[in-house]
Copies of this chain bind each other. A is one copy, B any other.
Amino acid sequence: MLELEEKDPANQSTTPGRIFKIIRDSGPLYANDIVRRSGLAKSTVSAYVDKLLSVGLLREDIPEGGKRRKLKVAESAGYVVGIALGQSHLDVALCDLEAETIDSRCCPVSLLRESPEEVLGKAVAFARELEESAGLGPQALFGVGIGLPSPVDYANGVPVNPPVMPGWDRYPVASFLAQEFTCPVFVDNDVNVMALAERDKGAATGIVGRRGSFILVKAGTGIGAGLVIDGEIYRGAKGAAGDIGHIGIDGDETLCPCGNRGCLEAVAGGRALLARAEAAAGSGRSPFLAAELAAGSPIAPALVAKGAASGDEECIRLVISSGASIGDILAKLVNFFNPSLIVVSGGLTGLGERFIASIRESIYRRSTPLAAADLVVKKSALPGGGGTTGAAILVLDEVFSHRNVGRLMRGLA
């Protein structure tokens, strides 16, 4: 049936992967659409589709009133676990093979005080709980993905030089989880993982598409970026690409915990913003924040946004200056990279639309007209920035890579 098998083993192993990817990216599709998009012969497509149906990775989808079958990923043929770890919170989701969340758990953690074993142990316990409550056995688990708030050596699945995570430098996260789960484990930087969620389920879908290029900026306590180039995460030579939080603002002398001065994160990150907001409340420069603080409200981005909306001038100034600092750095990167989309995510988006507008304005003001032509700057609409969804997509991209689908198919046959 698979006529290429004998003649061309390399081709045999990537062709089902190519077909499966087309269906993952654009399904449900008629077989004819797959022939057209792949450029493969009808007989080849038909043979592999049958095989993928028989092993259960694809399913038929007959549109209402339609006669011919469409083909789509059999989303319930297995599941993956997506883990998003932040400085102060842990999120774990059980997802289907289309990265849709079946169920999830979360809890606070402290990477400063808890050891990697403690934190990862909590993630494992959550995953077991989710498996159990969904009535799933471990044999259907296709893989586990985790996003860490640190640069990551992707090939080895270890964090490298994490800024404020004692005990995590080169901790074997992938091996630890692989021992617990006996399935493939993938570890990446949290912002890269969030970028994958934007690519497949978020802002990029309608603008650049799954094979497009864009920048995801996470502006929270830390500031970082994920680069997607032609649909793939670009990690750079040492997995450090996108580390924009430590780009220096020329002439700024603010001390950063990294030891340098004027780092974007130290000037415009969440900690700096909240410190300035507290100072403005304390000094009475912001009557709104002073009143809220007196009433016991915790100072947070959303509160500053509320103050700005109510006309408090100091709150407005705080929102605009934070956005402007980020936008000034992004303007430089726009000249260099000429993206057509920048998605802004993270806790500071709680500062509201005025914050995004301030970023946008600074970019347009200080990048070349050609580089900023048609550039869209928009806020992420994914809940929680899509951390767990992105971690699930990370796994799915790997287990459903061109080369792996053939293997998977032979394993399931």
Chain B residues with CB under 8 Å of A225's CB are 336
**Contact A260/B335 with A3-B7, A10-B40, A240-B371 known, Cβ cut-off 8 Å:** no
Chain B residues with CB under 8 Å of A68's CB are none
Whether the Cβ atoms of B11 and A160 lie closer than 8 Å is no
**Contact A336/B368 with A40-B11, A229-B229 known, Cβ cut-off 8 Å:** no
**Contact A161/B238 with A7-B43, A8-B41 known, Cβ cut-off 8 Å:** no
Whether the Cβ atoms of A335 and B247 lie closer than 8 Å is yes
Whether the Cβ atoms of B244 and A44 lie closer than 8 Å is no
Q: Quick one: closest B residue to A245, CB to CB?
A: B335
A41 CA to B10 CA, complexed, in Å: 8
A249 within 8 A of B: yes
The number of residues on chain A lying at the interface, defined by a beta carbon within 8 Å of a beta carbon of chain B, is 60
Chain B nearest CB: distance from A160 CB in Å? 6
A314 CA to B229 CA, complexed, in Å: 44
A31 within 8 A of B: no
CB contact list, A300-333 vs B, under 8 A? 328-329, 331-333
Chain B residues with CB under 8 Å of A3's CB are 7
A361 within 8 A of B: no
Whether the Cβ atoms of B338 and A240 lie closer than 8 Å is yes
Against B, the Cβ 8 Å flags (1 = close, 0 = not) of A235-253 are: 1111111111011111110
Chain B residues with CB under 8 Å of A229's CB are 229, 234
Chain B residues with CB under 8 Å of A338's CB are 235-243
Chain B residues with CB under 8 Å of A370's CB are 151, 160-161, 238-240, 243
A369 within 8 A of B: yes
A235 CA to B375 CA, complexed, in Å: 15
Against B, the Cβ 8 Å flags (1 = close, 0 = not) of A1-21 are: 001100111110000000000
**Contact A331/B248 with A237-B213, A336-B241, A338-B240 known, Cβ cut-off 8 Å:** yes
A338 CA to B4 CA, complexed, in Å: 41
**Contact A250/B250 with A151-B370, A329-B332, A337-B241 known, Cβ cut-off 8 Å:** yes
Most buried by B among A227, A258, A332: A332
Most buried by B among A41, A160, A329, A368: A368
Against B, the Cβ 8 Å flags (1 = close, 0 = not) of A343-375 are: 000000000000000000000001111110111
Chain B nearest CB: distance from A254 CB in Å? 13
Among B41, B250, B333, which residue has its beta carbon within 8 angstroms of that of A336? B333
Whether the Cβ atoms of A339 and B258 lie closer than 8 Å is no
Whether the Cβ atoms of B368 and A243 lie closer than 8 Å is yes
A222 CA to B328 CA, complexed, in Å: 22
Among B11, B237, B246, B328, which residue has its beta carbon within 8 angstroms of that of A335? B246
CB contact list, A157-199 vs B, under 8 A? 160-161
Whether the Cβ atoms of A7 and B41 lie closer than 8 Å is yes
Chain B residues with CB under 8 Å of A238's CB are 338, 340, 370-371, 373-374
Whether the Cβ atoms of B10 and A237 lie closer than 8 Å is no
Chain B nearest CB: distance from A337 CB in Å? 6
Q: Which 4 A-B pairs have the closest CB atoms?
A: A236-B338, A10-B39, A237-B340, A250-B250
11 inter-chain pairs at a CB distance below 8 angstroms, sorted by A residue, are A7-B41, A7-B43, A10-B38, A161-B370, A229-B229, A236-B339, A238-B371, A241-B371, A243-B370, A243-B371, A248-B328
Given A10-B41, A238-B374, 14 more A-B residue pairs with CB atoms under 8 Å apart are: A3-B7, A8-B40, A10-B39, A11-B39, A11-B40, A161-B369, A229-B229, A238-B373, A241-B336, A243-B336, A244-B336, A247-B332, A329-B332, A333-B333
